[in-house]
Structure 1
Amino acid sequence: MTAYIIGFILLIITLIIIGLLLRKRIYDQVDRLENWKMEIMSRNIASELSRIKVLNLSGETQEKFESWKGRWDFILTKELPDIEEYLFDAEDAADHYRIPTAKKTLQTINVKLETVEKDLEKILSELEELIHSEETSRKEIAELQPNIKGLRKQISQNRYQYGKADVRFEVELDELDQKLNRYFELTESGNYIEAKHLVDELKENLDETKVHIEEFPGLLKSCKHELPAQLDDLSSGMKTMKEDGYRIEHLGFENEISGYQQRLLDCITALEKGEVETAKETIEEIDHRTAEMYELLEKEAVAKGYIESNMANYERTLDEIASTFQETKVEVETLRKTYYVDDQDTEKYISLEKEINSLRKQLEELKEKLEDSDTAHSELRSMVENGLDQMKEITKNHDAFKDRMLNLRKDEMEAKERVANMQDEINAIHRRLQKSNIPGVPSFIWNAMDEAMDKNNRVLAALDKQPLDMAEVQQALRDGAASIEQLSEQTDMMLDQAYLTEQVIQYANRYRSKFPLLAAKLEESERLFRSYEYELSLEHAAKAIEEVEPGALKRIEEYQLASSEG
């Protein structure tokens, strides 16, 4: 029972503590909001609003001032006192532990203070914008006025540079002056924001007018004098070129120049009407196209000079190639009687002849076009350049073909030398066998030698064929070389085995009297040795000596190797 009482008391104490903590939080928030309210009340908004008095308090400015002042008075006389009452209510609710009610009241106060804060920020922002607009506009107008006067003076002093367009520019400057006067009217009536927009528009119009006035003399000069003079010079130059034999009719510049001359007249009219961008595009187009025309005419002039300088060389080079190929043709026919020319070389040979014949036809066509006057020199130059490039390629391929034909004879001589060397190798192996002092030569060695001889004879037979097929000769040489290499390897191995067997038997003789079984094996080894079976003889002798003296075979081999190297 006592435990329940104690627990109940502890619960009450806990609830009291929680209530006190929650109430403390409410009081803290009340203090924070009270400080916020007091900070708003202490702001010198009236002093800020008094800054507007430097402006004309009429029209839009007066409306804004009255609106801002009314809003600030309402905040001071109504909203902030109401917030004070809310703060008392929240504090009273906290005193009586009505925490939810206090929190709701505090939330309402917070929303109202935030609204007041935003309204004040808006008032000060609009005030600053208005004052800044007035100040900026005043400074800009002070700069714009002399600029307008300067442009009017420039037109007045240089009317000859503007032709009929001087009236249009005067009208544009009058319109700018009207907007300037409108600005002063707006500021007098207190409409500074609208005046600022008008100043921005005035600046943009003035900049555009200034650019047009500054550009106009140059554009008019281009349309009236510079470009017409260029077109006249171009026409005159084309006439001279035609008289000098240049082929430029295909370019069709006459009609194009006539069209541009008419467009320049239209361009002058467009400028006088104020269509500056249209005129600029026309001038840029004609200027660019005129440069292209000069470039194309120069290309034709250079092409004519190129033709005159290279035509003789073109014909002479082709004659030299044809003459050289004719000599090669005779040589090839002679070689074909002796050597076999493969299909690939034959195709290249035929291709060379076709290309030379094609160039001859092209030369005739070129001469015909030079006789008439319909083909441009630039086109003829391309034909000459392509032909010269083809001749370089033909010369290169022709030289490579001649080298291959010469290599047929060289390959034949090298093949004969190689087959003689191969025969010498076979003879050297045969002499070595005769001097070897072994009981005899195994049959497989003689068979290998016969095969090597046979393949060597095949090379000789291939070399005797008419016409000579070097591909067949080369294959026969490869087969013969492989056969001789195999013969040499087999001979070396057989002789090494025979000599090693003799050494093993001589070394093992020291144990014959002590080991009857070893003596019997040695006798079998000797029998095989006399039967030319050197590999089996070595196996028997090696096995016998290893049973008596392990490692003996290795020592004998090392001794034999050292002796042979010595």
Structure 2
Amino acid sequence: MGSIMLVVLIGIVIIAIVVYIGILAYQQRIRRQVATLAEKKASLLKIPLADELHLVGQLSLTGQSLEQFEALQSDYDEITKHRLPRIDEQLTELRNASRGMNLLQLRQDLAKAALLVDQTDELVQTVQSKLAELQEIDKQHRQAVHDLEQKYQELRKTLLAKNFAFGPSIDGLEEQLSHLEDNFDTFTQLTQEGDHERASDVLSQLKEDTSALENLLTAIPPLYKDLTAIYPDQLKELQSGYQQLKAQDFQFSDHDIPGSIQEVTDQVKDNVATLAALRPDDAKIINERIATRIDALYAVMQKEIDAKGPVEKNLDGVAKFIAHAQNQNHTLLNELDRLSQNYTLDHQELETARELNEQLRNIDGVYQRDVQDLTGKSATYSVVLGHQEQQQKDLHQIEEQQAQILKSVAGLADEERQARETLRQFDFKLHSLRRQIENLNLPGVPQSYLDYFFVVRDEVEQLATDMDQPQIDMERITKQLLIIQTDLDTLEEKTNDLMDSAELAEQLIQYANRYQTSHEDVAAASQQAAELFEKQHEYGQALETIATVLDKVEPGSYKRLEDAYYERKGRQKPAERDAAETTKKK
């Protein structure tokens, strides 16, 4: 029991020692923080606020600047008479209290002292900064007084030395400069009095107005030079040039050049007044319009000067071109009239040629009027040149149309001769095919073949009728020739097929006689083939009937006989011929 009490007592002693050591450490920490605050307070004392206040106080401030300075003095008094002493008191109390045991109160007092030091430091920094601003503003304003004074002297010298470059604008410019100088005097007085707040407002307006005046001095001279030297000289040159050209009988159509020159002259005078009112931006826009109008007047006169030479040079050429085109059209009309007696002209060739003739009359009419105007010295060369250029273009186009018409009708007679020769060949071919069929002495001809033959014959007869008309439509004739040629080729194939089928059928029927007694099917097929041949005149069916049965009795007999037949005729088999034509088309 006694040992336990001893352990407890030892524990209590140890705890007490630890707590005591902790308190001592905390007190030491507080003393260090108090020392830090004391150092910060000492650094505030090193800032020469008193000297800076003294310097600013010598600036003879007035107005808002003086009020601001007085407020700063009040802040300085607050710092030196109240805050710094209070800081000293609090720091002394903290040093004494740091030996005590009331740690919570000690911590609160330290926080209050730290806050007071920080606020005082901030106030010192603010006062110092604003004192520096007042000194800098005073310095800037005094420098501005010096700079502006020199600038206004230079502007005044410029106006005096170069007043000729500003013309009537000089009065307004001098008035603006005088107004600037009055404001400058106000600014100088405010600066000298130390009322820098009001001086700053005046300085801002001074800088803006001075910049505007400098811009005017830069902008006005070139504009005034254009209005008083460049444009008047150009207008005089235009007037002189116009009179010279009129003396040489130049015309300008609906362009009233004297009136335009007077309008521009008045515009120049009006714009001088705009410049005198110190409105260079407006004057610049009007100057650009004046320059554009002057350039346009030069262009109008130059256009006529440039047109005169080509007009005179083109006169003879255009006349010959018109005459040539008229003669050619006359020849064309005569040729078309002659051809129209014998041929149908399907593409309005005659009507087109008459329209071309009317165009030529109009072109010649314009040309003759231009010649009269040139002779009477009332022509506008550029207008005449425009006519000539259009006339040459139209005449070239007319010649091309004339050539196309001639080309389209030039071969009508040759086409007719060729068509008649082709018709004769068609007729000869029909008779030849008919004789070939008749020479076979067949018992009859299939009706389908006869129908096709008569269709082709009627086509040839119609062609002959059309060719015998007083007025031939060669376009229609050409289409008929193509159709008949195709139909005649088909008829020739049908004729060859008919002849081949008949001759081969007759040969195979005779060849089959050797098997009639020994083969009943051959006998029956021969009788059927003979019926188809003699009575029905279906030679192809007769050939197929007898060929089928022979190939059964004697395989390859039909091909052998067929090959021998076509070899003797010197022609291809229909199947081989069709295959060759198909390959050729591909």
Match of 1:391 in 2: 395
Match for residue 304 of structure 2 among 296, 300, 305: 300
Closer, same or farther in 2 for the Cα pair 1:143/1:443, shift >3 Å?
farther
Give 1:434 deviation, angstroms.
6.6
Give 1:295 deviation, angstroms.
0.3
Closer, same or farther in 2 for the Cα pair 1:57/1:267, shift >3 Å?
closer
Match of 2:373 in 1: 369
CA contact 2:336–2:350 (8 Å) conserved in 1: no
Match for residue 215 of structure 1 among 219, 223, 228: 219
Match of 2:274 in 1: 270
Match of 1:537 in 2: 542
CA contact 2:344–2:474 (8 Å) conserved in 1: yes
Closer, same or farther in 2 for the Cα pair 1:491/1:156, shift >3 Å?
same
Structure 1: which amino acid aligns with 2:400? Answer: K
Between 393-402 and 495-504, the greater mean CA deviation after superposition? 495-504
Task: Tell me, in whole angstroms, the C-alpha distance in 1 between the residues paired with 2:523 and 2:450.
Answer: 32
CA contact 1:462–1:472 (8 Å) conserved in 2: no
Match of 2:473 in 1: 469
Match of 1:108 in 2: none
CA contact 1:61–1:191 (8 Å) conserved in 2: no
Deviations 1:267-322 (A, max 9, x none): 33332332323432332222110110010111122233232111222222222222
Match of 1:405 in 2: 409
Give 1:323 deviation, angstroms.
2.0
Matched position secondary structure for 1:274: coil
Match of 1:245 in 2: 249
Matched position secondary structure for 1:448: helix
Task: Tell me, in whole angstroms, the C-alpha distance in 2 between the residues paired with 1:540 and 1:388.
Answer: 80
Match for residue 418 of structure 1 among 414, 417, 422: 422
Percent sequence identity over matched residues?
A: 21
Match of 2:90 in 1: none
Between 391-400 and 507-516, the greater mean CA deviation after superposition? 507-516
Instruction: Say if 2:284 is the partner of 1:280.
Output: yes
Task: Tell me, in whole angstroms, the C-alpha distance in 2 between the residues paired with 1:545 and 1:456.
Answer: 43
Structure 2: which amino acid aligns with 1:352? Answer: L
Match of 2:230 in 1: 226
CA contact 1:299–1:378 (8 Å) conserved in 2: yes
Between 470-479 and 213-222, the greater mean CA deviation after superposition? 470-479
Closer, same or farther in 2 for the Cα pair 1:250/1:475, shift >3 Å?
closer
* TM-score for the superposition, normalised by structure 2: 0.63
CA contact 1:307–1:380 (8 Å) conserved in 2: yes
Give 1:437 deviation, angstroms.
9.7
Instruction: Say if 2:240 is the partner of 1:236.
Output: yes
Give 1:466 deviation, angstroms.
1.9
Deviations 1:100-124 (A, max 9, x none): xxxxxxxxxxxxxxxxxxxxxxxx9
Instruction: Say if 2:346 is the partner of 1:351.
Output: no
Closer, same or farther in 2 for the Cα pair 1:517/1:144, shift >3 Å?
farther
Closer, same or farther in 2 for the Cα pair 1:213/1:418, shift >3 Å?
farther
Q: Which structure has the greater CA radius of gyration? A: 2
State how 1:470-489 maps to structure 2 within 5 Å: 470-489=474-493
Structure 1: which amino acid aligns with 2:422? Answer: R
Between 221-230 and 343-352, the greater mean CA deviation after superposition? 343-352
Between 342-351 and 498-507, the greater mean CA deviation after superposition? 498-507
CA contact 2:370–2:379 (8 Å) conserved in 1: no
Match of 1:105 in 2: none
Give 1:254 deviation, angstroms.
1.2
Match of 1:12 in 2: none
State how 1:117-516 maps to structure 2 within 5 Å: 145=148, 151-176=155-180, 185=190, 189=195, 191=197, 195=200, 199=204, 204-248=208-252, 250-342=254-346, 344-423=348-427, 425-426=429-430, 429-430=433-434, 433=437, 441-495=445-499, 497-498=501-502, 516=520
Closer, same or farther in 2 for the Cα pair 1:179/1:553, shift >3 Å?
farther
Give 1:479 deviation, angstroms.
4.2
Closer, same or farther in 2 for the Cα pair 1:212/1:400, shift >3 Å?
same
Matched position secondary structure for 1:223: helix
Task: Tell me, in whole angstroms, the C-alpha distance in 1 between the residues paired with 2:176 and 2:556.
Answer: 122
Structure 1: which amino acid aligns with 2:356? Answer: L
Closer, same or farther in 2 for the Cα pair 1:528/1:202, shift >3 Å?
farther
CA contact 1:242–1:248 (8 Å) conserved in 2: no
Return 5+ residue gaps in structure 1 as ranges.
1-46, 71-123
Closer, same or farther in 2 for the Cα pair 1:144/1:482, shift >3 Å?
farther
Closer, same or farther in 2 for the Cα pair 1:510/1:167, shift >3 Å?
farther
Task: Tell me, in whole angstroms, the C-alpha distance in 1 between the residues paired with 2:425 and 2:444.
Answer: 27
Task: Tell me, in whole angstroms, the C-alpha distance in 2 between the residues paired with 1:61 and 1:456.
Answer: 130
Between 253-262 and 473-482, the greater mean CA deviation after superposition? 473-482
Structure 1: which amino acid aligns with 2:324? Answer: E
Give 1:202 deviation, angstroms.
5.0
Task: Tell me, in whole angstroms, the C-alpha distance in 2 between the residues paired with 1:506 and 1:173.
Answer: 140
Match of 1:90 in 2: none
Task: Tell me, in whole angstroms, the C-alpha distance in 2 between the residues paired with 1:148 and 1:534.
Answer: 130
Give 1:384 deviation, angstroms.
2.8
Closer, same or farther in 2 for the Cα pair 1:142/1:416, shift >3 Å?
farther
Task: Tell me, in whole angstroms, the C-alpha distance in 1 between the residues paired with 2:559 and 2:140.
Answer: 117
Structure 1: which amino acid aligns with 2:520? Answer: P
Task: Tell me, in whole angstroms, the C-alpha distance in 2 between the residues paired with 1:299 and 1:496.
Answer: 87
C-alpha RMSD of the superposition: 5.1
Matched position secondary structure for 2:411: helix
CA contact 1:458–1:476 (8 Å) conserved in 2: no
Matched position secondary structure for 2:348: helix
Match of 1:87 in 2: none
Matched position secondary structure for 1:348: helix
Matched position secondary structure for 1:251: coil
Deviations 1:16-55 (A, max 9, x none): xxxxxxxxxxxxxxxxxxxxxxxxxxxxxxx9xx9xx999
Closer, same or farther in 2 for the Cα pair 1:385/1:143, shift >3 Å?
farther
Give 1:524 deviation, angstroms.
0.6
* TM-score for the superposition, normalised by structure 1: 0.65
Alignment coverage as a number of residue pairs: 458
Give 1:558 deviation, angstroms.
11
